[in-house]
Amino acid sequence: MKKIFFVICCLLLFNSNALAVVEVDITRGSLDPLPIAVSPLHVESNTAEIKKDNQIIENIGEEISKVIEVNFKRSGLFNPLKKESFVQNPEISHVKPRFEDWKLIKAQVLVTGKVNISKDKLRAEFRLWDVVAAKEMVALAFSTTPDNWRRVAHIISDKIYQRLTGEKGYFDTRIIYVSETGEKTQRVKKLAIMDQDGANIKYLTLGNELVLTPRFSPQNQLVTYLSYFRNLPRVYLLDIETGVQEVVGDFPGMTFAPRFSPDGKKIIMSFAKDGNSDIYTMNLDTRVVEKITDHTSIDTSPSYSPDGKRICFNSDRSGLQQIYVMRSDGSNVKRITFGKGLYGTPVWSPRGDLIAFTKVHKGKFYIGVMRPDGSGERLLTENFYQEAPSWSPNGRVLIFYRETKTDSEGKGFSARLWSIDLTGYNERRIDTETDGSDPSWSSLLSK
């Protein structure tokens, strides 16, 4: 009887397993950037009339695709394939790609599109294709003035980035920074603005006055910065769209790093009053100044969390410069850094999950990130001198400036803008006409 029971049990066990779904865990994969083919956008025939006058417009399809490629390459997430390897002609591929041809060159996704330029109007449309699944992933069209073609390229890049990563892009953005020229002891500092890829550099001030710490509003294209007028620090507001500039106020003593609140209605900064540096806010509507910290130590570099409920700042109240987090009313101050070295210039990520900082330890400068409770500290880059990180609007890339003892010609010293992503592997220099410092990243121009 027992034997029969045993045999039945065995049979049942065997049968149940035979019918079960086989599960296999895939825990590894390729971390190489995604191979993407960006086919030059096909320029429609009625564009020919305008071709004669404008060299760029003649090649506008190719130029747009190049800008998209550069954006993707710099992101570190995509690997744009060489155009020489493309089998299918752009004139045909924008209608219906031959996926076998694109599979042949190992492309996993493909970008095709076309441009039509009439007198004052540029219309660009693009399609993103999943080459492997042979299906369309997204298709959009944009209209603008022909001069704005670079922005169209950035917007297309953002849409593709969002579709392929699940988070918003950061290509249709601008960076404001302090352009520096001249000897180290006699630097001429101008306010400059450029696209995130280094194109379209414009100088906003003449260089007569010292300008410092420009910061973009997270809501719009307003900039606040510090400038010295007759040796007195002044905080300015500058509207990038209109060029209108206004003085927010004169502040006594040393004033540091004005920065917007997340809703753009306040400015938070630190300045020295009666010999003691504390953190203050100013309501931009009422111009009422409110003291947030009241401590005998030096409190500087405040930055709001994206929900506006908390503020991070650095202070030497424990003896050494460390990072602290408090409620936006100044209560519940908590120290979050306890590592070796000095911590400064904390900046809260737009995503809210991380705080970027500069760390100084044993004569070296590091740019790093940590969670708002101080845990999970990661140092992304190390150098002789670097500081002032600023987040891209999607909270994935940091821009900062780095000083080197010598410039590219081996003389003097040099200050340049650099970017690094959260992996810490994708570090790139952003080429500017002059030396640059104190960069600040804008929010997305197109929302």
CB 183 within 8 A of CB 202: no
Q: Can residue 167 be called a binding residue for other proteins (CB under 8 A)?
A: yes
Residue span binding other proteins (CB under 8 A) among the ranges 138-146, 165-173, 269-277, 362-370: 165-173
Residue 74's contacts (CB-CB under 8 Å, 6 or more residues apart) are 197, 419, 428
Q: Can residue 27 be called a binding residue for other proteins (CB under 8 A)?
A: yes
Determine if residue 285 is left, alpha or beta; phi over 0 gives left, psi from -120 to 50 gives alpha, anything else beta: alpha
Q: Can residue 23 be called a binding residue for other proteins (CB under 8 A)?
A: yes
Q: How far apart are CA 124 and CA 153, in angstroms?
A: 9
Q: Closer to other proteins by CB, 171 or 324: give it.
A: 171
Q: How far is the CB of 267 from other proteins (least distance, A)?
A: 30
Q: Can residue 22 be called a binding residue for other proteins (CB under 8 A)?
A: yes
**Do strands 78-80 and 34-38 pair parallel, antiparallel, or not at all (unpaired)?**
parallel
Among 2, 5, 30, 53, binds other proteins (CB under 8 A): 30
Q: How far is the CB of 22 from other proteins (least distance, A)?
A: 4
Residue span binding other proteins (CB under 8 A) among the ranges 159-167, 177-185, 261-269, 303-311: 159-167
Count CB atoms within 10 A of the CB of residue 366: 20
CB 261 within 8 A of CB 267: yes
Considering only residues 74 through 93, tell me which ones interact with other proteins, judged by CB under 8 A: 75-77
Q: What are phi and psi of 108, to 5 degrees?
A: -100, -30
Total length of the chain: 447
Q: How far is the CB of 395 from other proteins (least distance, A)?
A: 9
Q: How far is the CB of 323 from other proteins (least distance, A)?
A: 21
What is the pattern of x (binds other proteins, CB under 8 A) and - over residues 388-427? Answer: --------x--------------------------x----
Among 4, 5, 29, 186, binds other proteins (CB under 8 A): 29
Count CB atoms within 10 A of the CB of residue 28: 6
Q: How far is the CB of 420 from other proteins (least distance, A)?
A: 14
Specify the DSSP class assigned to residue 331: -
Q: How far apart are CA 307 and CA 174, in angstroms?
A: 23
Q: Closer to other proteins by CB, 75 or 321: give it.
A: 75
Q: Can residue 274 be called a binding residue for other proteins (CB under 8 A)?
A: no
Q: How far is the CB of 157 from other proteins (least distance, A)?
A: 13
Residue 253 pairs in a beta bridge with none
CA dihedral 333, 337, 340, 341 (to 10 degrees): -70
CB 174 within 8 A of CB 440: no
Q: Can residue 35 be called a binding residue for other proteins (CB under 8 A)?
A: yes
Q: Closer to other proteins by CB, 76 or 302: give it.
A: 76
Q: Closer to other proteins by CB, 27 or 45: give it.
A: 27
Q: Closer to other proteins by CB, 128 or 268: give it.
A: 128
Q: Where are the beta strands (DSSP E) in 131-265?
A: 135-144, 174-181, 188-195, 202-203, 211-216, 222-229, 232-239, 245-250, 255-260
Q: Closer to other proteins by CB, 32 or 183: give it.
A: 32
What is the pattern of x (binds other proteins, CB under 8 A) and - over residues 342-381? Answer: ---------x-x----------------------------
Q: Can residue 24 be called a binding residue for other proteins (CB under 8 A)?
A: yes
Q: How far is the CB of 164 from other proteins (least distance, A)?
A: 6
Encode burial over 325-339: b for 16+ CB neighbours within 10 A, e otherwise.
Answer: bbebebeebeebbee
> Which tokens in the block code for residue 26?
């895939």
Among 2, 21, 53, 447, binds other proteins (CB under 8 A): 21
Q: Can residue 164 be called a binding residue for other proteins (CB under 8 A)?
A: yes
Q: How far apart are CA 89 and CA 40, in angstroms?
A: 9
How many chain residues touch other proteins (CB under 8 A)? Answer: 38
Q: Can residue 49 be called a binding residue for other proteins (CB under 8 A)?
A: no
Q: How far apart are CA 345 and CA 431, in angstroms?
A: 24
CA dihedral 59, 62, 65, 70 (to 10 degrees): -90
Residues that bind other proteins (CB under 8 A): 13-14, 17-18, 20-35, 75-77, 108, 130, 132-133, 161-167, 351, 353, 396, 423
